[in-house]
Structure 1
Amino acid sequence: MKKILIFMIIAIMLIFAGCSKSNPLVESSKPASSEAEKGEKSVVIALGSDPVHFNPNVGDGGSGYITANIMNSLVKIDDGYNILPDLAETWDISEDGKKYTFHLFKGVKWHDGEPFKSKDVKWTIDTIIKEKGFIVNQLGSIDNIETPDDDTVVINLKEPNAAILSILSGALIMPSHLYEGTDWVTNPVNKNPVGTGAFKLKEHNRGVSVVLEANKDYFRGAPKIDKLIFSVIPDENTVVQSFLNGEVDVIDYSSAITPAAVPGLEKRDDVKIVKTLSNSRQYMIANTAKKPWDDVRVREALALAIDRDELVAKAHKGYGWRAEGFYTPAVEWAYNDKDLMPERDIEKAKQLLDEAGLTPDSNGVRMKDLEILIFQFPVFADIAKVVQANLKEIGIESKISSLEYSAWDEKVRSGDYEITILGGNHGIDPEGLFVRVGTEGSMNLMNYSNPEIDNLLAEGLRVTDQNERAVIYKKIQTIMSEEFPVIPLTEWMYIFVMKDYISGHPIDDGIGKVGGAEYSILDRAK
């Protein structure tokens, strides 16, 4: 057996800097919110929309990083997409990679005082599979789950799946004693969640706020603050004004704030802004089932024509990065930084189009009325305008068609398009490449198929050594750089705005992500 022991990262989070009377993190006569009582240390976080429910495994109830403060997973992911303990203190992997034995922390209790047990893990994962929960499609390799005792969980796989730990980080464990024998969709606990986490729900004021209070019995030590207050503010102008008025301490990407609001905030001395790379990126694809997009020379010409610096400047207002590689650089260990996108070269693009038979007419036009299809999302409209202008430089005249998402999805999946622009989260493990470039991938909207990539994707799941896996996934990116099944455009930037007295923010201090949320304000100090 290969023994894996990862030591706990202990970090002080959300401690206060200084002792100003106006600092809502310290005892003050001017609390950060009307929800905060005098003498309490509270942090107020702007929330873009009101949560629908607090069952993280049913689907997106809009409560993702609230429940990440209330609940725990077996394992969690840090800011570098490394696996760390959460409810599981250590784990073993069998030599054949098909058996994972998790040894749980002892003495963990649910917020209602009931002891946390291995059966809670089994019930949660089994129910996600049975009821087709949020990550069910990623759990297909699980054969069965055993609980030899209250502190041990054994997950048996049908075949090796080296991504299973990353996948399990997205399954927040729920209390079986409150859900067994009920409909997990309608169970009232979804409105009043019970977890094992550092904070527990105090109240949810519909359309106003979600208030969490410290779990003094948290198994890793009580938080240093008393309350987390998520203030529901859908309007960007109101978010910014509330922040400036001292009613909000933290604004992050989940709030209704766009890059346009950032420059003014950056000029303030009392504001700290953290900009960090996400694993979401924007890219362009062509329908390879249609001519001329089945010709790699045409796809490469598109890649050579795009001005990615202009995309960052105009579409992201400078708050983003140009995409260089064919997988997200956020997952550093799997990123191929050698086989990258070519630098912009209009003349070479024209040469490739000539070779592909797309020669210009007397007006220099090679193609007319190309439809650039997008769905309605602000950054895509701006990206499409830049792409349209770039393609005109190589003799391709185009029009932009913007559809509501469901109409776009139906049109693209039916194959009724030529090129389209889209984006999305590229996962916390490179097995996510299957979704986009695997022959059967659900987001392989290009009708692209490469048997070598399919074989490499399968091999990447069988191998458990990360270094060996890195070689496999980097080879896939090499092939992608030669065949251009996707044309990377830009990398999405997460923007976190906070008052200067906030410290210990996970992204700011490099502590990382917790559960399935992008970040969670938790105190790990003992």
Structure 2
Amino acid sequence: MKLTKVFGSVGVVSAAALALVACGQKTSNNAGSQEAKKFKEETPVKPVKKGGTLSYAIETDTPFTGLFNNELSTSQTDSDVSQFGNEALFDTDDSYKINNKGPATFKLDRKAKTITIEVKKGVKWSDGKQVTAKDVEYEYEIMANKASKSQRYTASLQNIVGMTEYHDGKAKTISGIQMPDGENGRKVVLHFKEMKPGMLQSGNGYFLETASPYHQLKNIPFSKLESSDAVRKNPLFFGPFQISKIVRGQSVTWVPNKYYWRGTPKLNKITVSVVSPNSASQAIKSHKFDIAGVINSQWQQVKDTKGVNFVAKIPLQYSYMGFKVGKWEDGKNVMDPKAKMNNKSLRQAMAYAMNIDAVEKRYTQGLTFRIPTLIPAQFGQYFDKNVKGYNYNLKKANQLLDKAGYKKKGTYRVQPNGKPLTIHLAAMTGSSTQEPIIRNYIQQWKKIGLNVKLTGGRLIEFNSFYDKVQHDSKDIDVFMAGWSLSSEPSPNDLYNEKAPFNYSRFVTKKNSQLLQEMDSEKAFNTKYRVQKFHEWQKYMFDQAYVVPTTNAYSINAVNSKLTGYSLKPSDANSVWYKVGYAK
């Protein structure tokens, strides 16, 4: 659960917001969730022909950032835009375990505390240059150099020998990353302080699974990488496609990478275009795109569309409500004991005031659903089914506030010290239903006497929202956001003391201890690791610094003439090589 992306106002976030609207009508049945059980994770397999153009919709109400470098980008939208060329070093099986079928091979030596990565001969950048050991190593330099301002430098990566010294400017190289055959060789050996149980899984956070083209970037100062043409306008990829045209924030045209190591992809061209969430259902019904995501609240409008296959899965992601209780200072989260939201009863009361279950049934017919913990059920035994989460319970919310000393003075409650209490909520823009939904949510809190106001008086555009959240704006007490997760379940890099992504800024001795234990050498014992995961989920439920709200089926409407499209983990790294039109 480490290599994460923030995601925006479409997909689960918009579905989450829909789950927050108050239900003034009788709830309907769970027809959507019943239909969802029939969804396939891939299109029907048919013989594929060469050629053709595929049009792909990116549903967002804001321009995409256009940062085409894995260590500088944190936006899921950017990942969606770049997926056609942005191949990982490793393929996995359907349980996300790394195998040697991808661009590079992988060998873990627990005794020597090393991982050896070897890029395969013939794996080339889209300019024809072989991907080298230096390209793999340089990704770590970009991520760890302070000047690049990457948010991906985490405590977990500091387990690589010499990483901290490089980050702090005490060393010019990362001593624990060796290139035995030289920079132009293809082998990299990573040396670790200790080995971790998640290292055999992709997305584990202890090492990077991508590379950066050193020959293209080496003369660009780290401080200028983010704004450089090499990252924004003419990036190189070693995946099946390369960029031929960018309309900033709006569209990207992809053409085959003629040097692609697996062979020539089936399609001649892929055009990726931004479409407003409000226009998404009409775009699907009119067949404007070959692949378009279904916004769950619009399922009833599109489900009978002819000429499409609905391909779906429950993704590794979730929406959540976070409470600001500190700041990011000197490379770590520093909690303020006197923060307005640093009262457990207040946080829990706000969570109990959310009527998620009833609302998601009414508005998405079960395609969006409440989740009880911060570990998704897809992680199997690591998910604690005994944690029930915050069911809608206004009586309990009021009791918590009464007992904690939040007394009512007129319509609203005051703080235990008698001072007025105004809570500032930051939430993102989205589809046309987003604003009334959030306003209604505020009414839910008013029912328990809490005066909640929108930060700035309105919903905030995606990029501005995360800018405010990341920089701990004084105007935010509570925020509603979402994570797209990687495939190793550890939550360490989201919620530890040195995690930039720990946007609530909470730090407790117990949290640090549990996170350390679940990723320790001892946790190579699966039973022990599962136990620690369950302890952490119970602890996080009780503390409520971060309250999970929903997940949702992610549904794609796919042109029925297409074949080879798949959402299976084992296909993720090669899907765009395989997708094409059926003969």
TM-score by length of 1: 0.75
CA contact (8 A) 1:90 1:104 kept: no
> Quick one: structure 1 residues 80 and 369, their matched pair in 2 at CA, closer, same or farther if it must change by over 3 Å?
farther
1:105 aligns with 2:120: yes
Aligned to 1:210: 252
Post-superposition, which runs of at least 4 consecutive aligned residues in structure 1 deviate over 6 A?
12-16, 314-317
Aligned to 1:8: none
Give the conservation status (yes or no) of the 8 Å contact 2:110–2:195.
no
Q: Unpaired runs of 5+ in structure 1?
A: 1-11, 19-24, 27-38
Give the Cα–Cα distance (whole angstroms) in 2 for the partners of residues 227 and 271 of structure 1.
21
Q: Does 1:413 find its partner at 2:472?
A: yes
Distance 1:51 1:370 in 2: 33
Q: Tell me if 1:157 matches 2:188.
A: no
Contact map agreement 1:292 1:298 (CA 8 A) in 2: no
Where structure 2 has 5 or more consecutive residues not aligned to the other structure, the ranges are 1-40, 163-175, 326-336, 415-419
Structure 1 residues 159 and 107, CA gap change in structure 2 (3 angstroms): same
Contact 2:349 2:396 in 1 (8 A): yes
Q: CA RMSD in A?
A: 4.2
Secondary structure at the aligned position of 2:190 is classed as: strand
Which residue in 1 is equivalent to 2:172?
none
| Residue of 63, 88, 94 corresponding to 2:104 | 88
Q: Which piece of structure 1 moves more, 313-322 or 485-494?
A: 313-322
1:456 equivalent to 2:497? Answer: no
Q: Which of residues 133, 146, 167 is equivalent to 2:178? A: 146
CA spacing shift, 1:291–1:193, aligned 2, 3 Å:
closer
Aligned residue for 1:491? 551
> Which residue of 2 is the match for residue 422 of structure 1?
481
Deviation at 1:454, TM superposition (A): 0.4
Query: How many aligned positions are there?
Result: 481
How many angstroms does 1:452 deviate by? 1.9
Within 5 Å, give how 1:88-487 maps onto structure 2.
88-95=104-111, 98-130=113-145, 132=148, 134=150, 136-138=152-154, 139-142=157-160, 143=162, 144-149=176-181, 150-160=185-195, 166=203, 167=205, 171-183=209-221, 185=225, 186=228, 188=230, 191-201=233-243, 203-204=244-245, 206=247, 210-215=252-257, 218-223=260-265, 225-236=266-277, 243-252=284-293, 258-286=295-323, 289-290=337-338, 294-313=342-361, 319-332=367-380, 334-358=382-406, 370-378=422-430, 381=435, 384-393=438-447, 395-403=448-456, 404=460, 405=464, 409=468, 413=472, 418-436=477-495, 438-444=496-502, 446=504, 448-463=506-521, 465=524, 467=526, 468-487=528-547
Distance 1:147 1:110 in 2: 19
* Equivalent residues of 2:139, 2:211 under 8 A apart: yes
* Separation in 1, partners of 2:279, 2:393: 44
User: Are the aligned partners of 2:424 and 2:475 in contact in 1 as well (CA < 8 Å)?
Assistant: no
Where 2:305 maps in the other structure, the secondary structure is coil
Kindly provide the amino acid, as one letter, of the partner of residue 41 in structure 1.
Answer: G
Q: Which moved more, 1:476-485 or 1:82-91?
A: 82-91
Query: Which residue of structure 2 aligns with residue 70 of structure 1?
Result: 85
Aligned-partner residue type, residue 471 of structure 1: Q
Distance 1:206 1:447 in 2: 37
* TM value normalised by structure 2: 0.68
> Given that residues 180 and 187 in structure 2 are in contact (C-alpha distance below 8 angstroms), is that contact kept between their aligned partners in structure 1?
yes
Is the 1:179–1:187 Cα contact (8 Å) retained in structure 2?
A: no
Kindly provide the amino acid, as one letter, of the partner of residue 148 in structure 1: P
Q: Which has the higher contact order (CA 8 A, sep 6+)?
A: 2
Letter in 2 for 1:197: G
Judged with a 3 Å threshold, the aligned counterparts in structure 2 of structure 1 residues 380 and 261 are, in CA distance, closer, same or farther, namely closer
Distance, in Å, in 2 between the alignment partners of 1:418 and 1:210 is 37
Per-residue CA distance 1:445-495 (angstroms, 9 max, x = gap) = 555433122012123333363724333232211211233222222225433
Measured at CA, do residues 333 and 383 of structure 1 come closer, stay the same or move farther in structure 2, by a change above 3 Å?
Answer: farther
1:71 and 1:174 in contact (8 A); partners too: no
Is the CA contact (8 Å cut-off) linking 2:299 and 2:364 kept in structure 1?
no
Alpha-carbon distance in 2 for matches of 1:358, 1:251: 47
